[in-house]
Structure 1
Amino acid sequence: MRRRIRGFRTSAAAIVAGLGATLLSGCATPPPKSDPDALADYKATNDPFEPTNRVFYSINDGLLTYVLTPVARGYNYALPQPVRTGIHNVLNNLGSPVQFANDVLETKPRRAGDTFVRFLVNSTVGVGGIFDVAKSIGYPDHSADGGLTLAVWGIPAGPYLYLPFFGPSGVRDGIGRGVDSAVNPYTWVTFNGVNHLNAISTGLSAVDAVAPHIDDLKKLNEEALDPYATQRSLYRQLQQSRLKAIEDDHRATVPDWYPDPGATGGAKPATPAHNTLPLPVISPVVSRAGAASTAASAAAPQ
């Protein structure tokens, strides 16, 4: 056991060191002080690792285009909307323990109470989370994750990062993501030495995030002057909105983005699964801007 832990630590340290070296080698050069406007834009963008970030963006965009999108199209074709919504709700319910921990750490007892009741009700009456019964009885969902908790504690966002496989992030949010993974009880559930539950939920979360927004994401990439900069801007808007909602202690703060099969006269949005920003997919961010096409034309690259 000690050998496994020691090996894990060594591997993690090597990965972190390698990623750090890659980022440092790909830093953008600040404009000279003789160009105050360009220097001000550089500081406002807060993306000193942009050259490396764009490399990771290109890799993730290729994975999205050639791997995840075809899988998501097959997923939409094979499964009817009610089944997809049920899977989405289950994934959302699985994120409740991490959400509850962050609610407590953010010292938001009402939000923590909502999360606890939602998990209890949806896991039982909602048949393992397939049905969001708690929402219908007055316990709406909300956003909470490690990055937002650190923000509530006053830790600055730090430089923008585009993480391999995870997409838009930042130094603070990246650390928060790691903390969330560590406190997630499902991270440590293994059968015959393999974490099947975590692997399956991660894969399904990626498909679940892309499936409702295949055409929107395609339109965003086609119409935005600079899709990388547009995603960066939209991600920051979303994080600021979510942080403000926590500070204001709002109860229902998750952006609406997932189609609800019970809607009449069009798709009624429901809540996204927690902590799902897989690959370069920022579906909640796109929907927050109104639609991918609107965001592409309205959001100017930074």
Structure 2
Amino acid sequence: MTYNEVQDPIEPLNRYFFDVNYALDALALKPVSHIYRDALPEGVKDSVSNFLTNLSQPIYFINNILQGDLNGAGDNMGAFFTNTFLGFGGLFDIAQLDTDDEDLGQTFAVWGIPEGPYLVLPILGPNTTREAVGIVGEYFIDPANLVARNNDVDNFALIRAGVSAVDKRAPSIEPLDEIEKNSIDFYAAVRSLYRQNRKSLIMDGENKLTPLPDISFELDDEPTKKDSISLLIEEDDEASPSVKKSTN
């Protein structure tokens, strides 16, 4: 299998940064996420997640507008104003609208921009070139970041990213450990899972063509490590799927 067949032309460099990020995760992010998950009450963790989601509603709104999803944009603004004013700044999800995460990478996909090669970024982790450009662009247009910069709030984006990373890492500790344990190539497994998750996000969770691999760890009928990673590689070899509202 060549690098280009899985859209990973710089795989050696990507593997290097993957190892760097793995070490950083083991040294810092994973232990902090363990403490966050095990030491804090569920209500506190829910409030942190609610606050981060509410803080992101304006950028979700912008992306839904750019994607032509006016209903989604309306839900974003309804959730933001309701939870900001009635939910104590977003600590409580009063609106209960269950809005989708919408980022600039998804918007580019809806516009038909190809995902480009797979790219592992230091600290930021798995990406494609399309998503990487989206991350940079979103930093400058995110209303929360703009307000923070205009009010001289130092390191707002860095602190927000750090808290968000811990909040998202905490529930994935055991699942990622299981995937690593049952994979003969953890890098390839993460690459495949990242792509499948991005496809699902782009299609608002309605991707029925290439679902996430269903890897069972039950003792009965347990797949071998080779079988598990083969599932992931087969998914990784598939072409980019159609995206919501348009094709790539």
> Same-fold call, TM > 0.5?
yes
Q: Which of 51, 56, 59 is the aligned partner of 1:90?
A: 51
Query: What's the CA shift string for 1:153-188, capped at 9, x where partnerless?
Result: 111111111111111111111111111111112324
Q: Is 1:226 paired with 2:185?
A: yes
Q: Alpha-carbon deviation of 1:291?
A: 7.2
Q: Which residue of 2 aligns with 1:155?
A: 113
Q: Which of 172, 191, 215 is the aligned partner of 2:130?
A: 172
**Which consecutive residues of structure 2, in runs of 5 or more, have no partner in the other structure?**
237-248
Query: What's the CA shift string for 1:92-148, capped at 9, x where partnerless?
Result: 11111111110011111011111110111111222211121212xxx2211311001
Q: Alpha-carbon deviation of 1:76?
A: 2.1
Q: Which residue of 2 aligns with 1:144?
A: 102
Change (3 A) 1:224 1:91: same
Change (3 A) 1:192 1:116: closer
Specify the SS of the correspondent of 1:84: helix
Q: Alpha-carbon deviation of 1:292?
A: 8.8
Q: Which residue of 1 aligns with 2:36?
A: 75
Cα-Cα RMSD = 2.6
Q: Which residue of 1 aligns with 2:232?
A: 300
Specify the SS of the correspondent of 1:133: coil
Letter in structure 1 aligned against 2:103: D
Aligned ranges 1:1-302 → 2 under 5 Å = 38=1, 42-135=3-96, 139-188=97-146, 189-190=148-149, 193-245=152-204, 253=205, 289=213, 297=228, 299-301=231-233
Q: Alpha-carbon deviation of 1:213?
A: 2.0
- Given that 2:67 and 2:107 are in contact with CA atoms closer than 8 Å, whether structure 1 keeps it comes out as yes
Q: Distance in 2 between matches of 1:45 and 1:293?
A: 26
- Given that 2:193 and 2:232 are in contact with CA atoms closer than 8 Å, whether structure 1 keeps it comes out as no
Scaled by the length of structure 1, the TM-score of the pair is 0.67
Q: Distance in 1 between matches of 2:21 and 2:60?
A: 26
Query: What's the CA shift string for 1:181-232, capped at 9, x where partnerless?
Result: 1111232414995524323211111110111221222222222111111111
Matched positions, count: 222
Scaled by the length of structure 2, the TM-score of the pair is 0.81
Instruction: Give the share of equivalent positions with the same residue, in percent.
Output: 36
Specify the SS of the correspondent of 2:127: strand
Q: Distance in 2 between matches of 1:195 and 1:99?
A: 23
